[in-house]
Structures are given as structure tokens and as C-alpha cells.
Structure 1
Amino acid sequence: MAKAVVTVVGKDQPGIIAGVAQTLATHNINILDVSQTIMSDIFTMSMLVNLEKLDEEFNALQDDLNAVGDKLGVTIHTQREEIFDAMSRV
């Protein structure tokens, strides 16, 4: 199964989870696991998503998530799981 890790960090405000989830759904991506917390007024979220039904190139997904992040005032990073795993071993 092709997977990716999506991380979101920024000032807490309504609509962050909805905006990210809607963007993923638009690309036919299923959320497999999610963890989120608020530290003081900083929102953080990590998601593991399934890329098997991604309807276009991975870069297009990243571009759309970055645009949503800009609109919401948060930073969104998206990495394929194998890259994420390799980086964590270094």
C-alpha cells in the first residue's frame, strides 16, 4: 500500500482539520490514522494517508495542500512513507 505522512503546524483556528481533510478527499485519499494536539495556541497534526487511489501526480497533491495551508495560515508537509521512514533512520 502506498502511504504518505502529512503534518500540519500553525496557529490554532477553526477549519484546519476540515480544510485538510476536504483537500485529501478531493484527491480520493483516505485518512488511515490521525493525531492532533494544541500546545498553547499552536495546532499540530500528523496524518497517515493511503495514496493508492490518488487521482493524479503526488506533486499536484502537495501543491493543493500547500495552497490550503497558505489560506489557513498553517504549514503543511507531505512525504511519501518510504521517504519519511528513511529520513527518520538517518
Structure 2
Amino acid sequence: MKKCVITVVGKDKVGIIAGVCNYLADNGINVLDISQTIRDGFFNMMAIVDMENGAKKFDEVSRDLEVLGGEIGVTIHCQREEIFEKMHRL
């Protein structure tokens, strides 16, 4: 299983989750876990996804999500699970 962590941050508005999840579904990427919060009008989402059967490679998905973020007015980062874990290890 090729897991990745996707984070989405920005000013809250309608359609953020739909935009991200539609992209993932259209590319065969399975959402394993997702959480989102809104604080003081700012949207924050974290999703763990499985890219094992995805239609695109990690680098292309990461670039596509960055572009999508610009289109919908948020910042989207996609990191491989092992990199995310190493960066956040105490």
C-alpha cells in the first residue's frame, strides 16, 4: 500500500472537500481517513490516502493537487507517508 498524507489549508468556502475528493476519486485514489476543522473562518483538512491503484504517479498527483489548490483558493500539500512520519517524529 502506498499511503500519502494530504493537507489542505485556507479560508473556508463551499466546495473545498468536494474539489479535493473529486480529484482523488477521478484518479483512483482511495481515501482511508479524513478529518477537517474550521477555526475562525479558516479551513484545515488532513487526509490519508492509498495511491496503490491510482492512475497517476505520486509526483504528478502532488503537482495536480497544488494546481487545484490555487484554483480553489487553498494550499494543498501531498507527502509520502514515510516522509511525513520522519518529519514529525519527536
Normalising TM by the smaller chain, what interval? over 0.9
Most deviating of 48-57 and 38-47: 48-57
* Structure 1 residue 64 displacement after superposition: 1.1
Task: Using structure 1 for the length normalisation, give the TM-score.
Answer: 0.95
CA RMSD of aligned residues (A): 0.9
| Identity, % of aligned positions | 51
**Count of aligned residue pairs for this structure pair:** 90
- 1:35-79 deviation digits (Å, cap 9, x = unpaired): 100001000000000011122221110111111100111000100
Most deviating of 55-64 and 75-84: 55-64
Matches within 5 A, 1:7-86: 7-86=7-86
Gaps of 5+ in 2: none
Moved over 2 A (4+): none
Read off the aligned partner of 1:13 and give its amino acid letter.
K
Gaps of 5+ in 1: none
